[in-house]
Amino acid sequence: MQQAKQASVEIALRWQSPTASHNERLYYERVNFWRDFFPGLLGEQLARLPAGGVASQLFAPGELLPACNPAAMHSVRPEQVHIRMRSGMTITPRAGQFIIADSLFAVWGRAG
């Protein structure tokens, strides 16, 4: 069977938090199956699908990411965050937004 190198992919995420059930739909154009990371066997499944095909994979809580560690969480004021992407676009923080720690090392004076 032929494997695709690139595709447009719609991803439906269904997950449960302690307070609610969540359903998210994300759409990505030009997904590259050689470059982009997919958990488990999902990338292989997607690359082998015909146009319009569906792949599904379940992951147990904690299987993909470790449990939340409150000691690793940091709060910063919006004026402390100045993130400029290579494209020149600036990221403006908002409440509840996840920002990769390495982007904020200047705020804390150390990495992550």
The verdict on residue 53 lying in a domain is no
Q: Are residues 75 and 42 in the same domain?
A: no
Q: The domain containing residue 89 runs over which residues?
A: 70-108
**The two three-digit tokens of residue 6, written as one number:** 């690139």
* Closest by CA position to 104, among listed 90, 83, 78: 83
The residue behind tokens 């705020």 is: 107
The verdict on residue 56 lying in a domain is no
The verdict on residue 43 lying in a domain is yes
pLDDT digits (tens, 9 = 90+) for 4-57: 678 888 888 888 888 888 888 989 888 888 888 888 888 888 888 888 898 888
pLDDT the model gives residue 98: 60
pLDDT the model gives residue 26: 87
**78 and 91 Cβ atoms separated by less than 8 Å:** no
Q: Which long-range CB contacts under 8 A does 59-68 form with residues at least 24 apart?
A: 64/39
The verdict on residue 94 lying in a domain is yes
Rounded CA gap, 37 and 42, in Å? Answer: 9
The verdict on residue 62 lying in a domain is no
How many domains are there within the chain?
A: 2
The verdict on residue 21 lying in a domain is yes
